[in-house]
Amino acid sequence: MEMSLEIYKEEFEKNKDKALKEGKEIFSNDESEIYSFSEAMFEDIEIRVDDGAIVVSGSIKSGDDSIGYITLPIKMNSDVGIEILQEYIKTLNKVKTILEATK
């Protein structure tokens, strides 16, 4: 599984001047064109497990405009997976305690 990034040309063009200005302010020593979408948000997120990786995908929005879509696979070793499960179990145990207390 590979990472993929789709950029929607029309929406990108509409926001590109502002993003280029932000990029130059952040990376002032770099002479290449760097676009920074500081207002961008990751929305409509889908998380799944595929081929031993957690895959996170969703829309990239800047203001009201959807400027792209990203799919990001995150490979991890079993120690990280166990740590995630342990944190999840702690949260579930807290919910269980609250539910039992409200019986």
pLDDT beyond 90 at 90? yes
Tokens standing for 7? Answer: 């950029």
Contact 52, 75 (CB under 8 A): yes
Q: Which pLDDT band holds residue 99 (cuts at 50, 70, 90)?
A: very high
Cα(95)–Cα(91) distance, rounded to whole angstroms? 6
Cα(28)–Cα(80) distance, rounded to whole angstroms? 36
Query: Would you report the helix, strand and coil content of the chain in percent, each value rounded to 5?
Result: 40, 35, 25
- CA 81 and chain centroid, separation: 19
What is the pTM assigned to this prediction? 0.64
The whole-number pLDDT of residue 30 equals: 64
Q: Where are the domains of the chain?
A: 4-75
List, for residues 33-78, the tens digit of each pLDDT value: 888 888 888 888 999 988 878 899 999 988 888 889 999 999 888 8
Please provide the average confidence, as pLDDT, over all residues in the chain.
87
Tokens standing for 75? Answer: 């490979």
Contact 44, 58 (CB under 8 A): yes
Tokens standing for 25? Answer: 């302010």
Q: How far is CA 55 from CA 12, 45, 46, 51, 81, in A?
A: 24, 10, 8, 9, 13
List, for residues 8-31, the tens digit of each pLDDT value: 999 888 888 888 888 888 887 767
